[in-house]
Amino acid sequence: MVLGLIFFDSMFLILMSPLISGQWYCEQVNAVSLVRSNELEEMRQKLESKKMMMENMSIHCRMAKEDASKQEEQLSSAVQSLLVAGGALSEANKKLQESSGVLSEEEGHVRLRNLQKMLRVRQQYMTSQISMLYPVKISVGPAQEQELEAYPAGSLAETSAGRKPINQRSLTIQGLHLTMTSFRKMSLFTDKKEIQRSATALGYVAHAVSLIGSYLQVPLRYSLQLGGSHSYIIDNAPSIELTSSDASSSALSFQNGRHMKFPLFLEGQDTTRAAYAVFLLNKDLEQLLNFIGANSLGPRHVLANLRELLRIIQSSDFIDNLI
């Protein structure tokens, strides 16, 4: 019986061996197929990444090509401008040499003096128009005023060194007094109309100073932003400190780098800033007076300095004493 069982097991193994071999073979094939599929997926991912990299490189190359094209156009324009500027410079140099040759002669010097005299005459005429537009007068009485004279026979030497400054309160511009008291201290009892009249007067002075500076070809140290009775003066290097309220209010000032403007009026403004604005305006007047060889009458004499500036420019010595 044992032999029978052994024989039966042997026959069973013989009959099942093909099936076992086939199953093992299928498992091997599936394993190899899975490995190959993983390899193909990995290769596909690498191919996609390389494809994306190539697309990025293509985009970068296109952008670089466009930038190079733009730079080439800019360089071409710059070269063209340089050629034009070179031609203009050559022409200007030629004219300069011709002018130097003319001036080197005695007649050239005389011609230069005549041109300077013509320029001074023109500046004097333009300044006289300003004097007519903004007449500075001396108040003699409540209803009488003495207008600024042209002083045709005046002298430049007759300036602040030998003249007593006129009282600021006795001068008017376009019939308006410039009261400095409110700029030093302002209270609830300060006359609002007086503040408005002073602001208008300062607007007139600022406009006159701006025009005279342009006629004399003098760049003002403190430039002006004209706005009538709401004019401003700009300080490129302010020496006063801003308070928190000043810094937060655009109506009071603006600061661009180190540039700051100060109001030439008191309405809604800080008295310190307004007084500093008047001080800077007087500095511009002092600059113009120094340019024509005169001295300022004082830091608080705005109208007096303007009157003196107009008087000197309209004098005969302004034309005779060429620089």
DSSP three-state, residue 80: helix
- Cβ neighbours of residue 83 closer than 8 Å, sequence gap 6 or more: none
Q: Letter for the amino acid at 295?
A: N
Strand ranges for the chain from DSSP E: 136-139, 145-147, 171-173, 176-177, 224-225, 232-235, 255-256, 259-263
Length of the chain: 323
* Residues 255-279: tens digit of each pLDDT: 445 678 898 888 777 788 888 889 9
Residue 14 pLDDT class (50, 70, 90 cuts) = low
* Residues 16-25: tens digit of each pLDDT: 556 556 677 6
Which pLDDT does position 193 carry in this prediction?
Answer: 82
| Range 237-260 average pLDDT | 53
